[in-house]
Structure 1
Amino acid sequence: MSDYNLLIDPLPAGWKNHLFGDVCDRVKDSYQPVDGGDTPYVGLEHLAQGFPAFVGRGTESDIKSSKTAFKAGDILFGKLRPYLRKGARADFDGVCSTDILAFRARAGCEATFLHFLIHCDEFIDHAKSTTSGVQHPRTSWPSLKEFRLTLPPLPEQKKIAHILSTVQRAIEAQERIIQTTTELKKALMHKLLTEGLRNEPQKQTEIGPMPESWEVVELGSLAKVGNGSTPKRANEAYWEGGTIPWLNSTKIHDRFITEADQFVTPQAVKECHLPRVAPNSLLIAITGQGKTLGNSAITRIETCINQHLAYAQFHAAKIVPVFVLWFMQTRYDNLRAIAHGGGSTKGALTCGFLKTLPIPVPSRAEQEEIATTFQTLEDKQHFAVRRQAGLQNLFRTLLHQLMTAKTRVHELGFSV
């Protein structure tokens, strides 16, 4: 038997010890998909990771083999790699993957309470400890039904579920703000970087339509372009006690870089000929894994960089660096396609290519206005991200505190 449990000692008044199999049943109803059918289908990819929510759904026309049929109110839990914490309460009838277990709450157990219970650390730890298979670890109903827990009385379950649901809705509201702001920013980028702000007639250029007064200039004529390197790690004189910021390509995702995680010594700068990149320079990831390649950022500090980053240190007074940053966001897919398919080096960009990269140049005043518009949206998005992170921390804290009776609903202003 697993050592992980959610038993409370001493027992709060009205709370009782149970096995998980005492409070819910596994749904075993089988369903054979019909060609062209429209019954909702839930696969593991449709369950949010680490949060009790859905992130989409398919239809039975997407699948062929027999699946599990569930009803609205049932709880779906991903048994494959349970450490991913995939589980949510369905508010619709449908069918689900065989890598998902469906639970149906018994009398005396509130379904929404159960939907939060399966996200408790103790339940997840129990599930992880009962998996089998190395490449595809799965838990099972016979193992999960033996999980031991202390269950509050039904009225308190409902109050706990209500509190956690309120926080969950607030988290989801912030996610909608983030998504809406992202979509608005993308639409505005296309509009403002092709039409500008002055309602001017447009002209066709090598990078698409733009206002007649705008120029198209190669990046190399606006800035010094180069890349960095990595001093030998084995040479302690290059790293030990270093005070000069040094960036690798992972920092590109910060968008506006205000600090470094690593530092090199003056000796490393001198002997390895590291460029000192000035503040307000553009950094571009010229190689990288995942989403790194093709991304850009502005450094707000003087820094050195590694060989996976290029820099554009602007010397033209007519350029607003942040405007170029926002333009580079629109070239992300194009840069990745060039790097992987038609650039000078397979799977990478080169400084030679970047020097020839065409950049739109409106008046400095218009650049500043456009940059300010995007920055306002960026600030709004960052505020929503921070607020969402705070709410997620609150959710995790309340989930633990309420499920273990360390905090009671009446202490939060709810009467039972």
Structure 2
Amino acid sequence: MADIAEYVTDKISSNDVSLNNYVTTDSLLQNKRGRECAQNLPPMPCALMHFQPKDILIANIRPYLKKIWFADIEGGCSSDVLVFRAKEGHFPNFLYATLMQDAFYDYVMKGVKGSKMPRGDKEQIMRYKMPTFSSDEEQNIGKIVVDIEKKLQLSRAINDNLPMLGHSSEGAKGRHAA
């Protein structure tokens, strides 16, 4: 992985982030479902990892939960979130597509440290063998996976709202029947 990606080490002050652009392991959703808005900001001013759009954020605590997000905004994250950035000449979408695979999480779990709250080994993670493709293939694979992921997120959002729609339409049916 070190050939096509690097860890982001840029910092941003917690004073410069809001709940909307602050990411923690808790705000990243399990099973590769992206993220939700953080519940709270750090209690004291501190330095956070500074992520940019198209960076890939992965929770490093309990990697088996498969918490990953392809950033679409700029912000800051806690130190328990790893931030990956595609190197020059490589495509962020492809990096994201590769890190979405179960094989990546299986690999990370082989090198975890700790048992109660296992953490991925950052050095071992960077040794992950990435598939090799031409630049055009990387771009196409990444685009396809990101497009599919966007459609899945839209479908999940619709499904999450179905219960509310069901209750209101049930109430309407009941009123018409009376």
Classify the TM-score, shorter chain: 0.7 to 0.9
Partner of 1:47: 28
Instruction: Determine if the alignment matches structure 1 residue 157 to structure 2 residue 138.
Output: yes
Deviation (angstroms), 1:141: 1.9
Task: Give SS of 1:101's match.
Answer: strand
Q: What is the TM-score normalised by the length of structure 2?
A: 0.86
Q: Which has the higher contact order (CA 8 A, sep 6+)?
A: 2
User: Is the CA contact (8 Å cut-off) linking 1:43 and 1:57 kept in structure 2?
Assistant: no
What letter corresponds to residue 55 of structure 1 in structure 2? R
CA separation in 1, counterparts of 2:141 and 2:17? 38
Partner of 1:28: 9
Instruction: Determine if the alignment matches structure 1 residue 58 to structure 2 residue 38.
Output: yes
Over 3 Å counting, the alpha-carbon distance change for 1:150 and 1:188 in structure 2 is: closer
Higher strand share: 1
CA separation in 2, counterparts of 1:62 and 1:70? 16
CA separation in 1, counterparts of 2:17 and 2:102? 38
5+ unaligned residues in a row in structure 1: which ranges? 1-19, 199-365, 368-416
5+ unaligned residues in a row in structure 2: which ranges? none
What letter corresponds to residue 185 of structure 1 in structure 2? G
Partner of 2:150: 169
CA separation in 2, counterparts of 1:55 and 1:70? 14
User: Is the CA contact (8 Å cut-off) linking 1:50 and 1:119 kept in structure 2?
Assistant: no
Percent pairwise identity: 23
RMSD: 2.4
Aligned mate of 1:124, from 105, 125, 131: 105
CA separation in 1, counterparts of 2:22 and 2:101? 26
Offset from partner CA, 1:200-251 (integer Å, 9 cap, x none): xxxxxxxxxxxxxxxxxxxxxxxxxxxxxxxxxxxxxxxxxxxxxxxxxxxx
CA separation in 1, counterparts of 2:164 and 2:96? 31
Task: Give SS of 1:50's match.
Answer: coil
Aligned mate of 1:185, from 138, 149, 166: 166
CA separation in 2, counterparts of 1:160 and 1:37? 33
Partner of 1:197: 175
Higher gyration radius (CA): 1
CA separation in 1, counterparts of 2:147 and 2:130? 24
Offset from partner CA, 1:14-48 (integer Å, 9 cap, x none): xxxxxx112111111233312x9537101123223
Q: How many residues align?
A: 175
Task: Give SS of 1:25's match.
Answer: strand
Offset from partner CA, 1:160-218 (integer Å, 9 cap, x none): 112222322332232232123222123345x459xx425xxxxxxxxxxxxxxxxxxxx
CA separation in 2, counterparts of 1:154 and 1:89? 20
User: Is the CA contact (8 Å cut-off) linking 2:22 and 2:75 kept in structure 1?
Assistant: yes
User: Is the CA contact (8 Å cut-off) linking 2:56 and 2:69 kept in structure 1?
Assistant: yes
Task: Give SS of 2:57's match.
Answer: strand
Instruction: Describe how 1:256-335 pairs up with structure 2 within 5 A.
Output: none
Q: What is the TM-score normalised by the length of structure 1?
A: 0.39
CA separation in 2, counterparts of 1:71 and 1:37? 13
Offset from partner CA, 1:70-100 (integer Å, 9 cap, x none): 1111110111111111112101110112111
Stretches of 4+ aligned residues off by more than 4 angstroms: none
